[in-house]
Chains A and B, each alone.
Chain A
């Protein structure tokens, strides 16, 4: 069975600094997808970034990038130049190649301080 683990319940970072959120996963699949979702306070969960496991190149979306280590089954999220609006709960998730079922981690609450 697929599992996703986020070992950091809470993180904090100062505005303009860089922070890395950790995620590890376990799967027996060769093809799968990995995602980071963000849930701001009292707002919808939105997709931040996604990675297809067969792609070696790390995904990047503006200030957000991932460090995908397939052999280590690690998928960390780096947020550069942190902004106050980045304050949110961040969920790491995975899905198998032929299914839409997202498997979520427990989340990391990120607080960005001015």
Chain B
């Protein structure tokens, strides 16, 4: 099946540091998406990537769609306390069916 391996599982960083997390799969996806989930809330879309090799930024966030279409990474620059949360990658296949990774839990120490 379309299993996603997301790493790292958790990160503890100091405010101001850069963060990098990634997602890999043995399957090809048409779209890669990155979501953030705050406690007690549903996931919120951060970045969507539609083409292999695509590099997209959203403020301090940058994400890339791997050339092989089997991986993606998300970078957060100059982290701030409100970046705390769980970040999920998701690969989309078919039209709008998505498979989610297990998440990366980010803790930012002031």
**Are A and B interaction partners?**
no
Residues of A participating in the B interface, judged by any CB pair closer than 8 Å: none
Residues of B participating in the A interface, judged by any CB pair closer than 8 Å: none
